[in-house]
Amino acid sequence: MLKQIAEGVLVHESEFLQSNSVVVQGTVGVLLIDPGITSEEMATIADDLRALGQPVVAGFSTHPDWDHVLWLEAFGDVPRYGTARCAAALDDLLSHADWRDRVAEGLPPEYAEDIPMHLLGLVTGLPADAARVPWDGPEVRIIEHSAHAPGHAALLVEEHGVLVAGDMLSDILMPFLDLEAADPIVDYLAALRRFEAEADDVVAVVPGHGSVGGAEEFRARLALDRAYVEALQDGEVPDDPRVDPAGPLYWLADVHHWQVQRLAERNPDATSD
């Protein structure tokens, strides 16, 4: 079910890891960001939009992870955008004959049979210097960075002060670094600085996974994420409740240890656990 979080901005939260699909209302229809994740959930979004008399006129994927590049016929054959690097990563994936098997390795088994794959990743890359999403609606500014994945983009709906953060600024997940990047820690801290520069204009933040937060929560998540990444940088154990083995997502402790190990393998003097 779509819930309004600001004027002209609605969110649908999936059962899987609190995945958020975002709808921005425009002049003649809506911009649909990161719809997911099961066929039934996406059909519900389509039904809600029909009830509102708001067709989908464009889509946007914040980054190339499978759960952010899904689509359903009910949304229509409309432009689906991403950054140039996001689209390039998807083109590379889809060029492999076994791409479905590659994606299937990362699907949550309890939902795998209900996730539509046939329209996955069909994203048009915007020009590398594109600053805004091209659509007939409120200005949606693209804040591209390299923190979590190639061509990751947060979107700022300027008129309403809503930052759609992609897989960052979550209250339930600590930072997941792009460990294939040349310098994942530097990239992540740079992205957080870019977000901080927008702080005065943000009244709500929507993470890819987790709860929608207000302006105060946005700043708190920035600080918590920075502290986590700086702890990795300094080889210290982060004081972060999200990686507590006793927390709701107990498996995040294992992901944290894996990140530490991968960073240590890249630079044995940079990190410790």
Q: Where are the domains of the chain?
A: 3-266
* Whether residue 197 has pLDDT greater than 90: yes
- Other residues' Cβ atoms within 10 Å of the Cβ of residue 223: 12
pLDDT tens, 8-28?
Answer: 999 999 999 999 999 999 999
> 247 falls in which pLDDT band (50, 70, 90)?
confident
Question: For 53-183, where are the alpha helices, taking DSSP H only?
Answer: 84-94, 99-104
Q: Cα–Cα distance between 209 and 238 in angstroms, integer? A: 21
| DSSP character at residue 161 | T
End-to-end CA distance of the chain, in Å?
42
Residues β-bridged to residue 205: 163, 213
The phi, psi pair for 232, rounded to 5°, reads -60, -40
Mean pLDDT, the chain, whole residue set: 95
- Which CATH topology does 3-266 take? Metallo-beta-lactamase; Chain A (3.60.15)
Instruction: Kindly state the percentage of the chain with pLDDT values over 70.
Output: 98
* Whether residue 273 has pLDDT greater than 50: no
> 269 falls in which pLDDT band (50, 70, 90)?
low
- Give which of 142, 139, 140 is closest to 127, Cα–Cα: 142
Q: Cα–Cα distance between 239 and 234 in angstroms, integer? A: 13
> 271 falls in which pLDDT band (50, 70, 90)?
very low
* Whether residue 83 has pLDDT greater than 50: yes
Write down the pLDDT at residue 85. 96
pLDDT tens, 125-158?
Answer: 999 989 999 999 999 999 999 999 999 999 999 9
Task: Average the pLDDT over 35-58 and give the result.
Answer: 97
